[in-house]
Amino acid sequence: MSVIRLERRAAPSRFWSVATPILAVALTMIAGGVMFALLGKDPVAAIRTIFWDPLFNTQFAAYSRPQLLVKAGPLILIAIGLSLGFRAGVWNIGAEGQYIIGAICGAAVGLAFYPADLWIVFPLMVIAGALGGWAWAMIPGLLRTRFNTNEILVSLLLVYVAEQILASMALGLLRNPEGGGFPGSRNLQQYAAASNPELIAGTGMHWGVVAAFIAVIFAYVLLTRHITGFHIRLAGQSPRAARFAGVNPARLVLLCLGVSGALAGMAGLFEVTGPAGQISIDFNVGYGFTAIIVAFLGRLHPVGILLAGLLMALTYIGGELAQFMLGLPAAAIQAFQGMLLFFLLAVDVMTNYRIRFGRGAAT
């Protein structure tokens, strides 16, 4: 009987490691085109609107190009933190919650100083945002190291707790006392000491984007030049060998979760002081979950994450444009983004396995 079987490679394929993201993007375009056609839309026009028009259509580029960095900044910052944990086998799926808590803590510090115009307010907000995300990530970290709980479930469930805290703050402690009873905090963009404006007009570059680029450089140096990066890579590839090499598993779990939580919290702070402007019930837009796709699309490599973050930001901008120009539903754009991770994981099998055709039982 002729069978198709997967045969494990002696070593991961370098070709497929590079080709997987490219092929996944191509398959996503094809499958997305089919989905758009089933919705009664021109698939070619939809793909062009998502990937081409935001950058090269002069009618939209003046607005879309600056938005590319605005959208990519938090995705890259969060994904860098997640990638360190994923490389070590620490699965933080709750970055969305850490992003929310970081935004709340940072905004609370800024609003506590209102209306004082002091230069130190914004640095204190950044520190508070990072500490808020770090503290929220320490909950699954300590539960795993102390009680061996599953950090995937704990971190994910904490997202919903964070969303309830967000709603409570928008309706309670952080609500604008001059807002006529409407939910939401003061607009931090109108409070100079706590705002995060563009550093270069017309580019979308703000402190959150700068922090993302710094995080990419830091992660690259850590993974390639520092003993801690070696421990992270070793723990993910061979936990048993890592223990023989003297790696402390509990310390590594806390380090990876702490760094990813702090970066996610900073991303939330930069977002609430910049593009979002205020704490509101619907402040979070899913950056913490989308960053998981960015991390894997970038092959958990800092430079790859940088490129993947820009690509995913393009789908956000192009998706919004397609909703406006072509009438595509928002759910279709979200499904399109989800296809990217689906095909990435599917094709990634070829990195460690090869397909064999032959007769006999599959092994």
Q: Domain limits of the chain?
A: 42-327
Instruction: Give pLDDT, residue 78.
Output: 97
Please check whether residue 278 is in contact with residue 184, taking contact to mean a CB–CB distance below 8 angstroms.
Answer: yes
Q: Is 123 exposed, middle or buried (0-12, 13-18, 19+ CB in 10 A)?
A: exposed
Rounded distance, CA 57 to CA 62, Å? Answer: 9
Coil vs helix vs strand at 9:
coil
Cα-Cα-Cα-Cα torsion 26, 32, 36, 42, nearest 10 degrees, comes to -10
Rounded distance, CA 188 to CA 190, Å? Answer: 5
For residue 18, CA distances in Å to 7, 90, 248 come to 20, 24, 32
CATH 1.10.3470 is the classification of domain 42-327: yes
Please check whether residue 265 is in contact with residue 287, taking contact to mean a CB–CB distance below 8 angstroms.
Answer: no
Bond from prior residue into 115 cis (ω within 30 degrees of 0) = yes
Please check whether residue 104 is in contact with residue 279, taking contact to mean a CB–CB distance below 8 angstroms.
Answer: yes
Residue carrying structure tokens 């990530």: 137
Rounded distance, CA 74 to CA 91, Å? Answer: 19
Instruction: Give pLDDT, residue 192.
Output: 87
Rounded distance, CA 94 to CA 87, Å? Answer: 16
Rounded distance, CA 272 to CA 278, Å? Answer: 5
pTM above 0.75, yes or no: yes
Instruction: Give pLDDT, residue 363.
Output: 47
pLDDT in tens, the chain (363 residues): 567 788 888 888 888 888 888 999 999 999 999 999 999 999 999 999 999 999 888 888 778 888 999 999 999 999 999 999 999 999 999 999 999 999 999 999 999 999 888 999 999 999 999 999 999 999 999 999 999 999 999 999 999 999 999 999 999 999 998 888 889 999 998 888 999 989 888 888 999 999 999 999 999 999 999 999 999 988 888 888 888 778 888 999 999 999 999 999 999 999 999 898 899 998 988 899 999 999 999 999 999 999 999 999 999 999 999 998 889 998 998 899 889 888 988 888 888 888 887 765 444
Coil vs helix vs strand at 358:
strand
Bond from prior residue into 66 cis (ω within 30 degrees of 0) = no
Q: Which residues pair with 6 in a beta bridge?
A: 355
Rounded distance, CA 51 to CA 36, Å? Answer: 14
For residue 351, CA distances in Å to 17, 87, 144, 215, 305 come to 6, 16, 30, 27, 18
